[in-house]
Amino acid sequence: MEKTLLILKPDAFKRNLVGEIIKRIEMKGFKIVNMKFEFLSKEKAKRFYEVHKDKIFFNDLINFMISGPILSIEVEGENAIYLMRKLIGATKPEEREMGSIRGDLAIGLTDNLVHASDSKENYEYERKIIFGN
């Protein structure tokens, strides 16, 4: 079994889609093993998205992520990292497939409802930031 991290972003709360997203995760067969509700500090958000620090959208992303609550969910399942990325769909609106969380529910590039780790290394890095050791 593999674990991965999923984060429901502030727009999931603003649009009342938290339950729908969790339902899709559970219907896909993932087991929720850890959850944390919080308001990210600016420092924690910057550390989490450090990989994007030199990109033009970095400050907008940070401001978005601290604009409301997030729900971090650690899930477990077969091939969890790959399958969760398929379930959430592409980041870019023009690449999103219908049936994915973003394809069905997201409305923009930044306000795309969810984040999911894209590799085992990133899962481990991101998990430490969110949940600690």
State how many domains the chain has. 1
User: Could you tell me the pTM of the whole model?
Assistant: 0.93
Domain of 119: which CATH number?
3.30.70.141
Tell me whether residue 52 is one of the annotated catalytic residues: no
- 52-111: per-residue pLDDT in tens? 999 999 999 999 999 999 999 999 999 999 999 999 998 887 888 999 999 999 988 778
Local confidence band at 18 (pLDDT 50, 70, 90 cut-offs): very high
Q: Which pLDDT tens digit goes with each residue over 21-61?
A: 999 999 999 999 999 999 999 999 999 999 999 999 999 99
Q: How far apart are CA 123 and CA 105, in angstroms?
A: 24
Spatial strand order in the sheet of 31-38: 31-38, 70-77, 2-8, 114-116
Q: Which of 115, 116, 117, 130 is catalytic?
A: 115
- Give the residue from 31, 118, 13 showing the smallest Cα distance to 68: 13
Domain containing 121 equals 2-131
